[in-house]
Structure formats: C-alpha cells, structure tokens
Amino acid sequence: MADRGKALVADLKSREAAAIRSAQALDLQDVSAVFWFSSAEMDIDPYVAGRKGPPAYMMNALGLKNIIESDEEWPVVSWETIARANPSVIVIARMDRRRFEADNYEKKLEFLKTDPVAREMEAVKSDRIVILDAHSMDPSIRNIAALETLAAALPEFDLK
Amino acid sequence: MSGATASLRALAAVSAGGLAVLMLAVMAGIVIGEAPLPLSAVLEVLSVRLFGADTLLDPIDAGIIWNYRLPRTLVAASCGAALSLSGLVLQSLVRNALADPYLLGVSAGASTGAVAVTILGVGGELIEHFRRCLCRCGAGLSDRRAAGARGGRRGGADGAGGHRRVAAFQRADVLFIAKSANAEQARGIMFWLLGNLSGVRWPDVTLAVPIAVLGFAACLIHARALDAFSFGTESAASLGVPVRRVQLVLIGAVTLMAAVMVSLVGAIGFVGLVIPHAMRFVVGVRHFRLIPATALAGAVFLIAADIVSRMLIAGQVVPIGVVTALVGAPGFAIILIRNRARA
C-alpha cells in the first residue's frame, strides 16, 4: 500500500515538473490570468480565484500573474476591475452544478463574448480562454491534471 | 396674473435646480468608481456617445463608463426615487409614519419569491423572477391592506403592528428558505436581501427609468388626494376624493415600482422610510412639494449610497443595503422616538 502511495506521489510530482518545464520553455513575460468560477447572477460581479488557493498555485507554477489580489479563496471582484486589469488568459470553470446560470461554462463563454466591456479584453478577442473542471480548482490530486491542461493550452496562445 | 407668472417662474427655477442636482449626482456616480478614470475621459465618452465625436480612448475604459457606470447610476437614481416615493405614498395612505416598502414587507415579499427561485430552483429566467416578484408583492400588499383597513378603524398603532407582523412573517419565510441553503447559495441570496447594482446594464435602464417616471407622475397627479388622506379616509371621502379608486391606483403604482426595482437590484431597505421624513422636515407636508422633493432626494441618496458602497473598503463592494441601513437604522430610531413622544 505504502509503495503504491509513494509511486503515486512520485508520478504526480514528475507530471507537475513536466508541466512547469513546458511553461518555462515559453519564457512568458508579463502574462496574466484570471480564474472565473461562477457568478450568483449572470451579469453581476463574479467569483474569481484569490491569491491563496489552488488556482493561485497553478498560476505561480506556470509563471502567470494572477490579476486578483485578494487573500480570500473565491472573492467577488467587479467586472470593471477585471476588465481594466485586462488578463492575457481567462480560465473558466466547467461543472455539472446548475445552481446559478453562470455555472454553465457555455453561459460564461457567451457572457465574455457578448458583454460590451468583457468582449474588449485581450483574452476574449484573441480567444485565449481555457476551460477547466471546477473540481480541479479545489485542493485535490486533480490539481495536477488541471495544471497539465493549462500548461498544454499556453503554447497555442501566442503569448509574449 | 403676475402672481401666477411669478409662481410659474419659481416652479421652473426649482425644477431646473432639481434637475441640475440630479445631473451632478449622476456625473459623480460615473466618475467615482473602483478603477480611477479621469473626469476628462468621462466627458469624452459622453460627448462621443451623445454627439458622435471621435475618440482615441481605450475601448475598455469607454465601455466601463458607458456600459457599466452610467446604467448603474441611472438605475440607482430610478430605484432611489421609486422606493422613496413608495414609502411616502404608503405613509400617507395608511397614515402610518413607519410605512415603507421594505418594512411593510412589499420588498420582503418580492425577495421571498426571488430566494425561493434561487434555492428551490423553480425556473431561472429573469421573466420568471419578475412574475414571482409581482405575485408576491401583490399578495403581500393585499394582506397588508386588510391589516391597514382593520387598523384604520381601530386607530393607527394597531394597524402598524399588523403591517410589521406581516413583514416579519415574510422575512421569516426568506430566512426559513435561506436556512436550507449552503454557504455559496447564501452568498447568492445576499443579492436579493441586501441589494446589488453590479449586474445593471442598459436593458435594465429601459425598464427602471420609465417605471420611476410613471410612478412619479401617478403620485404627482394624486398630490391633492394624498393631502386629503393625511386626515384619514373618511375626511378624504367627505372632501370629494374617490377613496377606493385613488387607493387602488396608488397602491398599484407603489407595488409596481417596488416590484420592478427589487427584481432589478434586490431589496434595498430604509430609503422609503427615511427620505420622505427628511423631506417633510425640509419642504413641509404638502404633497405637491413633497413628491418631487422626495423623488429627487431618494435618487441622489441612492447614487451616493452606491458610491459609498464601492469606496468604503478598497477592492471590495459592500452591499448597498448595508450602506442604506447604516444611515437608515438610526433614522428609523429617531422617527420611532419622535412618534412615541407625540403619542
């Protein structure tokens, strides 16, 4: 049992290192990101990742700057602040929950593309949007899979 | 003849002054926000949009000014005017100094509907919210009218008790439903209980402004009838006021205004209570003056409250209902004490 556990940890660590290496190879400068989890109503201020949770770890590991400066796990930040920070990459959460309209990632995409301010963000105009499972944004071994997905998406984005 | 001209001129001057104050408040609402944007940028965007000038402004900044802040400020103004007018009319109609759509439970009724939709998941569309808000408001008000009618016969105080019991019951409804929610649902519900203007866009303006203007007109037309109601329904009837019809129209107007505003921004308390009382203090009790003064003060107050809610804690928006309560709760206490002293 203990051996299987150690093997799993080793495997996760090597996958983590590989994802980080692939991001380092891109030599990203001044690349920023925001993780949008959901919103209580479609148009109101969204829940986004603060600088202490797993999304912040992923951004740190891959050399992305989190535009959110809150210590809360999922603070509510206004679209005004997010749009002005103009992140290079937007990560949105996909989930089966349908408590709020914005739980649906397709609704989030629709908002980003139609809101008169959000659609002007660089990440939206250049279609630099990554969809990740919401589960992988909470602390668990799935974080590594999310890290890999994000790292794999970056080279296609033509980031400087 | 010259007297009439002079009073017309005075009316025009006062109206122009009121509009100027409102415009200034709206400008303040657009200029002050989380992201610092200079006044020159705001003026540029407005001139581009209104007069078709050319601009080199960043589209995001321009969008924030035109698509976020301006609609938000206009809806805040409409909402403030509508809620304070609702309070004024209810206070006059039921002859109860503590009447207010929030305290009487018109807003609570609307939030109950909205919260039920959020947690029980009965439909998610805005139209559904809206329909429910209207239904709940209607139901809430008819309870309340019954209580008011009883109270009217027995004297004001009992009627007020009845109103507050209904409001408390409806708020208990909300709390009961809210108790079965988890933390994140609870955060979503806060929107309906404390108000939130962050989701306001242009389509909301096209609903809020006409409703506020319509409600204002309905109140102003009945200014004299409302004066008569100050002496009770029987005195109003003996003065030739068609009591039933006026009650129906005005309660309809109040319900519509409160329902629409709650459906757009959630329940914002104390505006309808404190503003009319403050204005009685300033312009007196005649409704012909009181109605415009209340509408204007309510609009300016809610714009100011929205600004404060955005600036109070940096990088975080305090729910606007908290700001209005900070001002309103002491106001409520003062009114209560003054009423008791008079009784």
Q: What are B61-99's pLDDT values in tens digits?
A: 999 999 999 999 999 999 999 999 999 999 998 877 777
The nearest CA of chain A is from the CA of B264 a distance in Å of 11
Contacts of A75 in chain B (CB under 8 A): 316
pLDDT score of B130 more than 80: no
* ipTM field: 0.87
Q: Does A79 touch chain B (CB under 8 A)?
A: yes
CB atoms B315 and A120 under 8 Å: no
For the ranges B14-28, B169-183, B312-326, the one whose mean pLDDT is highest: B14-28
Q: What is the pLDDT of residue B112?
A: 64
Helix axes B156-179, B126-154, angle to 10 degrees: 150
Confidence of residue B136 (pLDDT cuts 50, 70, 90): very low
DSSP for A34-100, please give it: EEEEE-SSTTSPPEE--SSSHHHHHHHHHTPEES---SSSS-B--HHHHHHH--SEEEEEE-S--SS
Tell me which chain A residue has its CA closest to the CA of residue B35: A81
- Which of A105-109, B14-18, B138-142, B245-249 is least confident? B138-142
Q: Could you give the CA distance from residue B306 to residue B319 in angstroms, rounded to a whole number?
A: 9
Q: How many domains does chain A have?
A: 1
CATH 1.10.3720.10 for the B18-342 domain, yes or no: no
Predicted confidence at residue B10, as pLDDT, reads 86
Q: How sure is the predictor about B48, in pLDDT bands with cuts at 50, 70 and 90?
A: confident
d(CA B68, CA B200): 7
Domain assignments of chain B as residue spans, ordered by start: 18-342
From the candidates A44, A73, A124, which should be mutated to test the interface with B, based on the most B CB atoms within 10 A?
Answer: A44
Q: Which residues of chain A have a CB within 8 Å of the CB of B188? A: 40-41, 99-100
Match 């006409």 to its residue by tokens: B210
Q: What is the CA radius of gyration of chain B?
A: 21
**CA angle (B53 as vertex; B48, B55 as ends), nearest 5:** 75
Cα(B152)–Cα(B159) distance, rounded to whole angstroms?
6
Per-residue CA distances from B144 to B109, B139, B160 (Å): 11, 9, 10
Give the domain extent around A49. 2-157
A51: domain CATH number?
Answer: 3.40.50.1980
The pLDDT, as a whole number, for residue B171 is 52
Q: Is B64 on the interface with A (CB under 8 A)?
A: yes
Kindly report, residue by residue over A23-56, the tens digit of the pLDDT: 999 988 889 999 999 998 888 899 999 999 999 9
